[in-house]
Each structure stands twice: as C-alpha cells, then as structure tokens.
Structure 1
Amino acid sequence: MKATVLQDDLETFKTAYEEFSKENPTIQVQFETIPQAQYYEKLRMQLSSGDNIDLFGGNMDVFLDTGILEPLDDYVKKANVDVSGYGPLYDSLKVNDKVYGLPYRKSNWMLFYNKTLFDQAGVAYPKADMTWDEFRELAKKMTKGEGANKTYGAFLHPWAQTWYMQGVQTGASIIDKDLSAFKKGLQFRLDMEKDGSMMGWAEQITTNAHYNAAFQKGNVAMNLIGDWHVAQLRQAEAEKKISFDWDVVPVPHPEGVAANTSLATPVSLMVNKNSKHKEEAFKVLQFMTGVKGAKQFAAKGFLTGYINDEIRKTYIGDGTLKPKNIHYFVEQKEYPEYPLLPGVKNILVGSVYKQEGEMALTGAQTVDQAIQKIGQRVASEWADKYAKDYKAGKK
C-alpha cells in the first residue's frame, strides 16, 4: 500500500508504523510526502488522475468535492472503534452525517506571553480565565515607549481568524446567515489598534511583521497564536536566539463563554475510495488515529485528535520543557475554526473574511459594512455553490 502524508508528519508516521508492523507484519505501507507548498494541489491532482494512493492525510475539507473519499462509518462500526476519545471533534468532522476521515492531530489556539516583560513591569501575569475586555486592558498596561524601542502589549497576526474567533467561541459559524456575532471581534481588533497596544494591520503588512519573529524579538508581551508556536520557541531557545522566560494561558473569551474555549483545526487520515486495499488501509488509519498512534504523535509534541489521560500525560511531559502550563492545550473546549466543507477555507477564510476585514481595518469601510458584505459574499460566492450539497457536522 501507499500512503501520502504531510511533510511535517512523515517521520512520526514512520515511527508509528514500526509499532504497527509488529502487530500487522503482513500489511506493508510505503509512506511518501509532497513539499508543503504544493501538497494539496498536487495530491488532489494525483488522486483525480487515478494514482494508486490508498491512504492520505491532511485537511479533510480540501478533498470532499473530489468524490475520492471512502465513507468510514461501516468500517468504524465493524471494528467497534471507540470514538469517545475524539470528543466533540468526531461529530464535527461529519459531512452529510457521514464520516470521511479520522483526526490524528489538530491545531488549537493559545495566548503566549513574555514572563520577563511582565516581571520587569511589575504586572501580574495573564489569568487563565480572562475576558477579551480584560485582555485589552492588560495589553494597554503593558504597552510603553515609542518607535523602535516600543514594547507592544499584544501581537495579533493579520489573519481573519484573530478577529472572527470571538464569534466562533460563542458557537457561531462563519457560514451562518446571521453574522452579527462577528461584529464585536472585528471592532475589537480595530479598537486595539487605535489603543496603540498592538501593531496596526497596515504596519504589519508593510513591514512584513510575523508573529514568530515579533515575539522572539522580546518586545511583545502577549502573542495570540496556535500550538505550533511551542515548537518554534523551543527551537529558538535551543539555538540561544531568545533569553526571556515565557508561558501560555488560554485565549481570552467573550463574556458568558467558559474559560479555555478555543478553536481547533483537525488534520485527518482518509481512505481513497478507489483503493484496492481499503480494509487494510482502514486498519492503518485506525492504528494511527487511535490510542497507539496518538501516543507517538503526543511524544513528538503534537496535539492529537484522540485523547485520554495517558496521552495527556505524554503530551504534557515531565515538566522539564516549556511552557510550564502546557496542560491548558489538552483541557480546552473546542469549536471548529471553520466548518469542514468544500470551499470554506479557500473562498471564505482566504478571501471573503480576509478582504472585507482588511477594508474595515484600513478605514475603507465600517465594521457594519464589512459584516454586511461578508454575509452577501458568503451567500453568492459559497452558499450558492456548496450549501445545498454539503451539511456540516455538529459543533
């Protein structure tokens, strides 16, 4: 059999496969990858042209409209797979009430902070239970100086997710007909820029500011970004590029929403419906996305789709590595960052929300106008094409 997986995951899959082979010596799998920049485009092309790829990994929504995904419901039932370990993620992955992939890992958001800056300012560290309004006030308190010597209270990368997450945290979806839940988040980012407590969108774009470099520079108190930043900071410490102390707390939350409510993006394994080895492919998928595969990924620092107490302990480690409060990552209430349906990521996240949000942030339109236009474009550019054929799973 042949499996194509993301470049960053290849070595972990190979390690996990060594364990799988001990239990299943007759199932031979050749793991391959494609460079990250071309991964989805090239893999879609290979699958559509009939390449003999039996199993593949990635964001499931990218492949739904190809008709190449094998429904897994019968396999899950026949193998008596314990889906409780996936939590709400299992139902949220369903499309038209069918399961087309199981998550082996996921990405979640967290608030990283520079402990050294807080210590120097004599300000208490961010709380684990902090509203967005409290976050804004803390960012203002931590902002000082001017020009090249300025310390910013916060850094929010110029992605639409950094403002629309406030709506998603309340249970709203970016494909809802009523998008009023997203006004507050866009206005919030605009207000923080006016406060001067974070670098404005226009300056971020013109200076090519990046969340990783900005935080590592040491003049940003709080950085709102995903779990992958842990590995970036650990590497920077190992290479002695940073000397400040740092930690994490849950992302701020809207008033009335539980603390540590975050956004999750699952990365799944899927079976090619044209595979001649579907039973064997599912057996590999079951291992990689279940307890045994999750242990391997957790040991490498990946947040896993499947979670239990043992996997939590593996992910958290023995306490010798930062961040001290890494446990928050495996205690989150999660909503999908966006519905896992065709076109949502490319059309809505990558274009509609990005473009209209940016026009509001540059003053070319008001927040109300931006949300109104987003609603119109969601209907005309996405819903008219996909909504009647695809229904997202439960949140």
Structure 2
Amino acid sequence: MNKFVSLTLASALVAGLAAGCSSSKPSAQGGNGAGSGGEGKPVKLKMTVLSDDLNTFKLAYDEFKKENPNIDVQIETIPQQQYYDKLRLQLSSGEDIDIIGGNMDVFLDTGILEPLDDYIKKNKIDVSGFGPLYDSLKVNDKMYGLPYRKSNWMLYYNKTLFDQAKVPYPKADMTWDEFRDLAKKMTKGEGANKIYGAFLHPWAQTWYIQAVQGGSTIIDKDLTPFKKALQFRMDMEKDGSIMSWAEQISTSAHYNSAFQKGNVAMNLIGDWHVAQLRQAEEEKKINFDWDVVPVPHPSGVPANTSLATPVSLMVNKNSKHKEEAFKVLEYMTGAKGAKIFASKGFLTGYSNDEIRKAYVGDGSMKPKNIRYFVEQKEYPEYPLLPGVKNIVLNNIYKQEGEIALTGGQTAEQAIQKIGARVQKEWADKYEKEFKTSKK
C-alpha cells in the first residue's frame, strides 16, 4: 500500500496486554506441545469460531489431533447474529476461551488479545504465504491474529448476454474507464425488460473500491481518490448502464437475484457469490452461462488488485496454555489447515501452489476462471481498527454516499463531509486509545 496506518495503543490497552504477557511468555520450544502441562501431558483448550466455519474447523482438528494427541480442543460457536456481542461479553467475564475466531478489529479495544510476534519468531513460522495481508494486520507493529480465510471481490459476467450481443467478454486486465464503456455497450432496452450493462450493489464498498485499490484507506486525511470513485458511480448512473441507487432501494434489488434474473451483464461482488450461483444452477433457477474476471482497476494499478476481508484466529492473553493455543492457531492458519479450508471452497489467508490447486479443483465446476480468486493482490476493505467498520463505514460513508447518490449533494460535498465526520465521530473518540500517522 502506498499509505499505511501506524497505531499506538494507549495506556489502558498497553497495560492490559503487558499484564497478559507477564503471566506467560512463549518458551524456546515455541508451541511444540510442551507448555504448562509438560511434554506430552494432556491439555484441554476451548476455541470459539463463526458458525459458517465450524464444520471445516472440526475436519481440520481431526487432522491436527493425529499429530498432537495431547491437545484436546473443544470447538464451539455462537449464532451469527449474536456472535460478536456475546463473545465479547464472555471474554470480558473471564470465560475460559483460549482461541478466538473472527474479525480482529472487533476485539482490539478489549486488550484481550495475546501478541503473537514472539511465537511466530521462535517457531520460525514462514509468513510469506499470507502475502500483503500479513503486514496489513499489524497493530502498533504487532501481530494479534493470523487470517485463516478471507473474502475478496471479483467481476461476474453473463456469457450468454455477451454472446447474444456479439460483444467480446470482459478482459482480465480492464481499467474502470474500459469497464464503463463496456457497460454502456451492453445496456439496451427499457422498463422491466431492460438489460443493464452492470450491477453495483448499494454498499459503499462498490464505489470506494477504486480508491482502496490504489492504496488509500477510508480514514485517510486526503480523501481525493474517494471523490473520484463516488463521482464514477454517479456518472455510471447517468449513463443508464447501472441501476440507480434510488431504484435499487425502492425495488429492494439485490446483487444475487438481479444477476440470476439474467438481465445484468456484469456483477461486481464477492467470492461468496460463486456458491450462490452454483446452488442456483443445481436448482435449475438459471439457464445462462457465466464466468468471472478480476475487478476493473485504476490506471497505474496492477490487474487483479482487489479488496479482501480477512477472518483471523487469535489467542486469549489470559489462556493458561498459550503455547498449545498458538500451536492450534499455527496449524489452522498455516499450509495444512489452509489446504483443508480451500478444499471446502474457502479462500484462505495463507496460500501456496498446493492450496491454490485445492481451491480451484479439477475444473469440472464453474466458474472456469476461478483461478483468479487465488491470484489476487488484496488490500483490506477498511483499516482493522476499533470502530472503523461500525462508525466510519456503516454510518459515515453509507449515509453521505446515499445523499450524493440521491442528488442531495455533489461528490465533492459528500467527501468533504465524510472527512469532517471521520475526524469528529471516529478520530476524536479514539484518540485517547490510538494515534494514527502516515509513513
């Protein structure tokens, strides 16, 4: 990234982490199962993970157990709607949860996370397989979690519509301006039978992706790239090549149903859409051919640069068996665990040729170009800091973007207000805990 966020945790958080570190530090043996229970002695751990990932974690644990018979892990989950609130409550009340799964930013302000740097160093963990995401997960130059999976973005396209229009398919290396021209070319008709060249879901990410692809973040002081990105979405609406934000809201249009209807040529959305389309084909709900290519990119940015949302495993600083907990984390997030997750259709934080092959499969299932998912360079959707998702993304960007997209203000006015609100509603609130600076 051409811009980075450097964080300094305040006294409350630092004190909490220091207290946790003093109770147990990684030994030179570094997570080889010889923790507080001694070599080979049984150790019981508890791990809480997201419900969508539970079954795959159990499969991975079965393999881990073959190599580590002395480490017993009780894997639990919490219903999706309650997951983070309930897990935070459990951790704050001192419940014995050794390993935590989820979005790392949700837990940073609790001071409950154990720094992993010493464990990584003493175990000589090869972190190169995590790519750029590894450094982007650091907080105050420390690592508090490793990503076991991620979600990234791709451009889906209706091959049948392109064949009928006798227009070449979208290119794997396509700028946003080329995408806009192609969307205009694929748009035709009126009313209920209109064919839209593209569909951009109402989420703010679908317009600010251009800025993040260039290395900007949604809490930058200079938000100029975001003004250009918002204006681009507004211009595509004027072209008539995408459904307007207002129409999307009034008709409850959704990226999945809109694309499956068969009147959208290109759909910009995340990797999870693959499973949705495969299911629709199994249920014979769609009768068109489809594939994927990398999302468009700004000029000067390499092709197949996208957004990603990493989901991590973390160690509770209050765990009585931190070395063994790290050993589980290392397995699940590393090459062995990643291969199991990839074989089940998850994009993994760690990747190598074998893992990419496991994800791509034997080529018998769509999309044909699925390899693009595992060849991407990704930037995080948003900085993984407390409050950024809930305050900055879900409130500020969403609200000001919507006003602009409904004609209530210009793109420039929207971005000016976003900058002021980020300072007032996020930066001022967290400045006692965090200090940010640009390198």
Q: Is the CA contact (8 Å cut-off) linking 1:93 and 1:393 kept in structure 2?
A: no
Give the corresponding residue for 2:187.
143
Give the corresponding residue for 1:205.
249
> Deviation string for 1:283-323 (max 9, x for gaps)?
11000000000000100111100011111111111110111
In the alignment, the residues of structure 2 paired with residue 55 and residue 370 of structure 1 have an alpha-carbon distance, to the nearest angstrom, of 41
Give the 3-state SS of the residue equivalent to 1:29 in structure 2. Answer: strand
Q: Does 1:174 align with 2:218?
A: yes
Give the corresponding residue for 1:25.
69
**Residue type of the alignment partner of 1:35:** P
Give the corresponding residue for 1:328.
372
Stretches (4+) displaced over 3 A: 387-395
**Which TM-score applies when normalising by structure 1?**
0.98
Give the 3-state SS of the residue equivalent to 1:152 in structure 2. Answer: coil
Q: Does 1:301 align with 2:339?
A: no
Deviation at 1:390, TM superposition (A): 3.5
Structure 2 unaligned blocks of 5 or more? 1-44
1:218 to 257, 262, 265: 262
Give the 3-state SS of the residue equivalent to 1:103 in structure 2. Answer: strand
2:114 to 33, 51, 70: 70
1:162 to 192, 197, 206: 206
In the alignment, the residues of structure 1 paired with residue 71 and residue 183 of structure 2 have an alpha-carbon distance, to the nearest angstrom, of 54
Match runs of 1:334-353 below 5 Å: 334-353=378-397
Give the corresponding residue for 2:19.
none
> Deviation string for 1:120-151 (max 9, x for gaps)?
11110000111111111111111111111111
1:188 to 232, 242, 264: 232
Note the aligned Cα RMSD (angstroms): 1.4
1:4 to 33, 48, 63: 48
Deviation at 1:353, TM superposition (A): 0.5
In the alignment, the residues of structure 1 paired with residue 359 and residue 165 of structure 2 have an alpha-carbon distance, to the nearest angstrom, of 32
> Deviation string for 1:343-364 (max 9, x for gaps)?
1111111000100011000011
Give the corresponding residue for 1:103.
147
**Residue type of the alignment partner of 2:271:** D
Deviation at 1:386, TM superposition (A): 2.4
2:287 to 236, 243, 264: 243
2:400 to 356, 376, 380: 356
**Residue type of the alignment partner of 2:79:** P
Q: Is the CA contact (8 Å cut-off) linking 1:112 and 1:222 kept in structure 2?
A: yes
- Shift of the 252–388 alpha-carbon distance from structure 1 to 2, 3 Å rule, reads farther
Give the 3-state SS of the residue equivalent to 1:220 in structure 2. Answer: coil
Give the corresponding residue for 2:334.
290
Give the 3-state SS of the residue equivalent to 1:153 in structure 2. Answer: coil
Q: Is the CA contact (8 Å cut-off) linking 2:132 and 2:377 kept in structure 1?
A: no
Q: Is the CA contact (8 Å cut-off) linking 2:184 and 2:239 kept in structure 1?
A: yes
Give the corresponding residue for 2:127.
83
Q: Percent identity?
A: 81
Larger Rg, first or second structure (1 or 2): 2
1:52 to 91, 96, 106: 96
2:273 to 207, 229, 251: 229
2:82 to 21, 34, 38: 38
In the alignment, the residues of structure 1 paired with residue 436 and residue 256 of structure 2 have an alpha-carbon distance, to the nearest angstrom, of 33
Deviation at 1:241, TM superposition (A): 1.2
> Deviation string for 1:1-58 (max 9, x for gaps)?
1111011100000000000000011111111111111111111111111111111111
In the alignment, the residues of structure 1 paired with residue 154 and residue 218 of structure 2 have an alpha-carbon distance, to the nearest angstrom, of 20
**Residue type of the alignment partner of 1:91:** D
- Shift of the 394–51 alpha-carbon distance from structure 1 to 2, 3 Å rule, reads farther
In the alignment, the residues of structure 1 paired with residue 71 and residue 437 of structure 2 have an alpha-carbon distance, to the nearest angstrom, of 32
> Deviation string for 1:52-85 (max 9, x for gaps)?
1111111100110011111111111121111111
In the alignment, the residues of structure 2 paired with residue 388 and residue 256 of structure 1 have an alpha-carbon distance, to the nearest angstrom, of 38
Give the 3-state SS of the residue equivalent to 2:198 in structure 1. Answer: strand
In the alignment, the residues of structure 2 paired with residue 394 and residue 295 of structure 1 have an alpha-carbon distance, to the nearest angstrom, of 36
Give the corresponding residue for 1:373.
417
Deviation at 1:246, TM superposition (A): 0.5
In the alignment, the residues of structure 1 paired with residue 369 and residue 435 of structure 2 have an alpha-carbon distance, to the nearest angstrom, of 37
Q: Does 1:112 align with 2:133?
A: no
Deviation at 1:249, TM superposition (A): 0.4
